[in-house]
Structure 1
Amino acid sequence: MDNLTHSLVGAVMGQAGLKRKTGLAMPALIIGANLPDVDAACFFWLEGTEHLGFRRGITHGPPALVILPLILAGLLWGFDRWQAKRGMRPEKRVTVHFGWLYALSFLGALSHPLLDWMNVYGVRFWEPFAPTWAYGDTLFIVDVWLWALLIVSVWWGYAKEKSGGNQRPIARGAIAIMLGYIALNWTITWMAYQNKGVTAEPYPEQFIASPQPVLSLGRERIARLYDGRWVSSTWEGEDAGYGYRHSAETQCLLPDLSEQSRDNSQLDAFLFWSRAPFGTRAKDGSLVLHDARFYDPRARERFSLALPDVKCEPLPHSSS
């Protein structure tokens, strides 16, 4: 999920009562909820599609979820001591307990991969032990309704506390609504997978129910047909049956690219990351790789990789 959602989840957990456990509890929860995204620094040394195969991996796995919160807790504890030595420590701050700082940092960090799992991009929970992607297909990566719920609850709770009231029921109610909203969306996705997006045969060979932005209870139905074509319920192009649409671009037969990927780090990363790879024909007749989850015929450069040395071969039974 986006970092605003992660931060708001950390904040609402604090307002639900956890911030009373120790001084600097809110920074531990909010920063902790964003800790796994330190892997974004990979943009400084990785190029092109290489970051796709690196993100949501090593910093989202068990060792990182133990070590990163420990570092954060140590920094917060040291900051509190540094302020105290210089007479700058706020008088209203309660005693800082390192054990609680670590526990809250860990809880915040743990919420991060759980939320990341809920969209179609996926997460690798068991890195570095197993490089296996897991997908929840439950929420869009930016869910405006979660934003609205969490922003209102955090602001309302803050205002309630400032006026001398109890903010905990507000935060706990928001958490309950959030969990119910997630459960509802998970159920919608589960139901979509029961019939693979269609009501009669032939069923697609592979099917993905992708949550949509704003209309969060809807699902984009993405499918791989028996002839190798990838189709979607939202793409522009010719009708492929059962409400699916075929891309207006020519799709290519996807060859075995394992040999080329050994010498091409961009290709290796793309294939490792891609859940629904398919190819289209470039103007020069070569192959361009895409992923059906993030394909938009109007923005073909997005999440794509050109392979100028690989010829686009037509799919069998393709009308193109």
Structure 2
Amino acid sequence: MDNLSHSVVGLAAGEFLHRSLFDEATPQQQRTRRRLLLFTGWAASNFPDLDLLLTPLLPAPLGYLLHHRGHTHTLLYALPQALLLWLLIRMLWPSARELLKQSVAARTGFLLMLALGFMLHLSMDFLNSYGLHPFHPFDSRWFYGDMVFIVEPVFWMAFGAPMIMLLPRRALKIGFMALLAGVPFYFAARGFLSWASYAALMSIAMATAVSQQRAGERGRRGLVLAMAVGLGFVAVQGMSSTRARENVAQALHGIDAESRLVDAAMTAFPSNPFCWAFVSVESKSANGSYRLRRGVVSIAPGIAPVAACPSSLWEESAHAHHAPGIVLTWEERGSLERLRRLKAENCFFEAWLRFARAPVVNEATVFDARYGTSTQGNFTAMALAHSGDRVCTEFIPRWDYPRADLLAAPAQAGRGH
């Protein structure tokens, strides 16, 4: 999830928690507690992304693919991160340190916000198709929410608008509200966001802002409404994703009944429960091949046909296959034997397979089809040439293979059933 979404949700959680606790003994302590909970909410909601500092441990692109959303995005390693954040606050913020010594309410709020901030980060990162493995080292599988676009304006509007209403100066409120409205307007004008979605976003921002403005000095009405909007949006997206995946499975079965659909990575369009991009992975073990397809599906083509889905997020090819509510735009076939052989022979490719959910293996390069149909502009692309001659390092994390279902030899697959 984008860090703006992480930030506004963390700040709103800190503000809500502050307003839910008993008042401190003095106005100064009250102000310190509010700043402490706001900072903790923001910092804990972004802290796991410091794993970007670990990317130099492996050559590109493996450093980013395997260490971003890596150990810092697990429940176990959230504990030392929380301890580190607490130590930094204790060492560098004397007034907060004194408040935490004196006030039970402040200590309670701080510990709750510290835990909640890290949980919010992991939960929000789970929502999209990139995935994470929160239970490592006990369970190193990838988990994919496939529900929410990785940059989601609904969170900006729902949580950002009421927080803007809490700013002390009218000029700041006007400026930030204009920015909040202007950024999605730009995305809509560039074809990344539908105008219907933009109108819905403005309605959400207005509702949460007005609600918080009318809530009074200690009120939480706008913040509660923001939480309801956020949770409701995720619930709707979850149901829509399930429906879209079912439609994809049905359409692909109609095209080739002999293929077995092993996965369909669903990517939501921003603030749009109707339109979904997908990458399907099908296995044809009888002839030793697998197939990847990309396309766009609408779960309500009568209301929002595929052609109405934001154009800048997908391109219809000249050879696209159309079915009711679905367009297939790209297809690639691969050899299961070559996939397994390269895994055994090339340790860098083996490491890359610990990330790849939709692996495309060409003669000289590999890439994940979730992020494009070629190596150009695809951050997952890796050259195969000479990589087998290099020595792998000890910094390759032991995540499970997303495509273990394709990598298992036929005899192993049979025993697994």
TM > 0.5 between the two?
yes
Shift of 1:218: 1.2
> 3-state SS of the aligned residue for 2:384?
strand
Structure 1 pair 303/95, CA: closer, same or farther in 2 (3 Å)?
Answer: same
Residue in structure 2 matched with residue 58 of structure 1 by the alignment: 71
Residue of 263, 281, 291 corresponding to 1:229: 291
Measured against aligned partners, the alpha-carbon deviations of 1:64-108 in whole angstroms (never above 9, x if no partner) come to 2222112212322333437889xxx9xxxx888445423211110
Cα distance change of structure 1 residues 83 and 5 upon mapping to structure 2, 3 Å threshold: closer
* 1:244 aligned onto 2:306: no
1:112 aligned residue: 121
User: Displacement of 1:265 after TM fit?
Assistant: 5.2
Q: Is 1:180 the equivalent of 2:192?
A: no
Deviation at 1:16, TM superposition (A): 2.0
Structural mapping, 1:1-320, within 5 Å:
1-18=1-18, 21=21, 23=33, 24-50=36-62, 51-81=64-94, 97-158=106-167, 165-199=217-251, 201=254, 202=256, 205-206=261-262, 207-213=264-270, 215=272, 217-225=274-282, 226=284, 228-233=290-295, 234=314, 236=317, 238-240=319-321, 242=323, 243-247=327-331, 252-253=334-335, 255-257=337-339, 260-261=342-343, 264=346, 266-280=348-362, 286-297=363-374, 299=376, 301-308=378-385
Higher helix proportion:
2
Percentage of pairs with the same residue: 22
C-alpha deviation, 1:279, in angstroms: 2.5
TM-align CA RMSD: 3.3
TM-score between both structures, scaled by the size of structure 2: 0.62
Q: Which shifted more, 38-47 or 6-15?
A: 38-47
Q: Answer whether contact 2:40 2:117 (CA < 8 A) is retained.
A: yes
Question: Secondary structure in 2 aligned to 1:17?
Answer: helix
Q: Unaligned 5+ residue runs, structure 1?
A: 281-285, 311-320
Question: 1:174-206: CA deviations, max 9, x gaps?
Answer: 111111111111110011223435446236623
Q: Counterpart in 2 of 1:318?
A: none
Displacement of 1:17 in angstroms is: 3.2
> In 2, Cα distance between the equivalents of 1:268 and 1:167?
54
CA apart distance, 1:301: 4.2
Q: Deviations over 1:112-157 (max 9, x none)?
A: 1110010000011112222210000000110123222222121124
Question: What is the CA–CA distance in structure 2 between the aligned matches of 1:82 and 1:300, rounded to whole Å?
Answer: 48
Shift of 1:60: 1.4
Q: Using CA pairs below 8 Å that are at least 6 residues apart, which structure has the higher relative contact order?
A: 1
- 8 Å CA contact 2:268–2:277 kept in 1: the answer is yes
Cα distance change of structure 1 residues 9 and 306 upon mapping to structure 2, 3 Å threshold: same
Deviation at 1:25, TM superposition (A): 1.2
Give structure 2 stretches of 5+ with no counterpart: 25-32, 169-211, 296-313, 388-417
TM-score by length of 1: 0.79
Number of residue pairs matched?
A: 297
Give the match's secondary structure for 1:8. Answer: helix
- CA 1:27/1:198 → structure 2, altered by over 3 Å: closer, same or farther? same
